[in-house]
Chain A
Amino acid sequence: MNLQIFVNALVNAALIAPPAMAFSLLFGVLKFPNFAIGGYITLGAFAAYTFNVPLGLPLPLATLGAMLFTGFVVWLAHVWVFKPMQDQSAVTLLVVSIALTLILESVVRLFFSADVRGFDIPLERPWKFWGARITREQVEIIACAVVLATGLHVLLRHTRIGRAMRAVADNPMLAAIRGVDAAKITALTTVLCGAIFGLTGVFAGLDLVIEPLVGWNLTIPIFAAAILGGIGSPYGAILGALLLGLAEELTILVLPSTYKIAVGFVIIAIFLLLRPQGLFGTAEIKK
């Protein structure tokens, strides 16, 4: 039973870590907490569902399609909404991002109703080891998360474009002075994050269910992981996700599982109050 807690926590972390990294990255370039990520994730889940079930594509291909689709939608949102409004206050952008997430959620509801759905994948018996169970999908989620985190690390640390992304997030004015097209890099970051949110939608559909609120229910845990790890620090987000996953699983031992979302919030509240800069963040980022 004890091992099961760690397995579940690991799956949770694998689900939360990639979008928390993406959220951190996005916060770095846009400088406000983007609540639209809930809508993006829901969109990714339903795009993959559409490719997979009605259109009959195999899941890996449907996943790729969902990532491209979500990336494209996030790019549109950037071009039509966030870029033209980038000089407005963080609160205004926040209100706009909440509106956007509700819009996307409602669009999905309009086309798919609020019914709970699932992907077209064969049901398999979970694997058992030392008394713990894990499904094939969960193993795949963990593997994908590890590959994604590694890929993101390589991109940010060891490529020209990744270095520019960090530079723009750090100091857009100086980046422009050094000849970087900051607007282009920001748009690129946005699309990359969008693709990751799309992938998270697929993961959520595999591990949880596909329904319009799937993204919203993940938003607070994602924020919690990102804040725990020090907002703006993609690596901290991974550890934040692991800690959060563990905390959530431990809570379920004593409280009904519907309180899971509250765990994330309580962690956010405690952390913001005690250590506004997060676990690994240095000084507070002032806008």
Chain B
Amino acid sequence: MTEAILSVAGLRSGYGRTVICDDISLQVSAGQITCIIGPNGAGKSTLLKTIAGVVSAIDGSIRVAGVEMAGLPAARVAGSGMAYVPQEANVFRALTTHENLAMGGWQDEGRTQAARDRVYDMFPDLQPLARVPAGNLSGGQRQMVAFGMALMLEPQVLLLDEPSAGLSPLMVGEMFETVRRVNAEGVAILMVEQNALQGLKTAHEGIVMAAGRIAMQGAASELLNSADVSELYLGSRI
């Protein structure tokens, strides 16, 4: 196993006095895709938001390449080698594709030009849409802009909150393909997925969350074959 790029230990978080996630420990290895599945309300999105610094951690540690992130606000976490793509409203609708990418590189303007070219190389479909406001793009195109924006600072790990949500069935397959392509560039990915089957098929590692805690974790292929998991989360989808 390769070294962990993101390691979370004993993490607890929530809103106000309500604890949503508790006792979360997980590791994301460099260059690997890890997928978190679980029922609605299991705290998957909150966990991702906590790691990204959008929701502040109550207790525990979040290390990115060995550097402690817990307690830092989202603005400080950005540019630390980790980039978060929220589930909804993950592009600036009033800004063009080009400007969205520039916002992705906000913290290091010097690199913007080169980074933008790299994103356009990775998503050639975006190039002709450079001057189009993101609000006018299709769902799939917007998702690409959101990924591209997150990749502008060349993160080592990408946090994706339900990337397939709201996409048409045809687009879902394409989106997971994009996730694999981004990963092929060497970016580790931690994603939350409602679409457990597709998510686990794409991932190397899998984590099952229930009631704010980690219920199971292991290789994605093992989880796919596990009787418990298929009965609970994959059942109707197989």
Contact = CB atoms under 8 A, between A and B. Distances in A.
Interface string B62-96: 00000000000111101100001010011111110
Given A170-B94, A181-B75, A282-B135, A175 B89 contact: no
Contacts of B73: 176
A10 interface: no
A174 B95 contact: no
B102 interface: yes
A177 B84 contact: yes
Interface stretch (B103-111, B179-187, B198-206): B103-111
Nearest to B104: A178
A174 B99 CA distance: 14
A125 interface: no
Given A177-B54, A180-B75, A164 B106 contact: yes
Contacts, number: 64
Interface string A110-149: 0000000000000000000000000000000000000000
Given A163-B99, A178-B149, A179-B75, A173 B106 contact: no
B144 interface: no
B27 to A, nearest CB: 23
Given A176-B73, A178-B103, A166 B54 contact: no
Interface residues of A, number: 19
A174 B134 CA distance: 14
Interface string B94-126: 110001001110110100000000000000000
A169 B92 CA distance: 9
A185 B30 CA distance: 35
Nearest to A282: B135
Contacts of B99: 163, 166-167
Contacts of A173: 54, 86, 89
B94 A180 contact: no
Contacts of B197: none
Contacts of B104: 178
Contacts of B75: 176-177, 179-182
B106 A174 contact: no
Contacts of B54: 173, 176-177
B79 A160 contact: no
A177 B109 contact: no
A167 B133 CA distance: 12
A182 B92 CA distance: 14
Given A164-B103, A180-B103, A169 B74 contact: no
B92 A167 contact: yes
Given A169-B94, A171-B93, A178 B86 contact: no
Given A177-B54, A178-B149, A167 B103 contact: yes
A175 B103 contact: yes
A174 B78 contact: no
A163 B92 CA distance: 11
28 contacts: A160-B102, A163-B99, A163-B102, A163-B103, A164-B103, A166-B92, A167-B95, A167-B99, A167-B103, A169-B94, A170-B94, A171-B89, A171-B92, A173-B54, A175-B103, A176-B73, A177-B75, A177-B78, A177-B86, A178-B78, A178-B107, A178-B149, A179-B75, A179-B76, A179-B79, A180-B103, A181-B75, A182-B75
Interface of B: 52, 54, 73-76, 78-79, 84, 86, 89-95, 99, 102-104, 106-107, 109, 135, 149
Interface of A: 160, 163-164, 166-167, 169-171, 173-182, 282
Listed from nearest, the 3 A-B pairs whose CB atoms lie closest are A179-B78, A179-B107, A170-B94
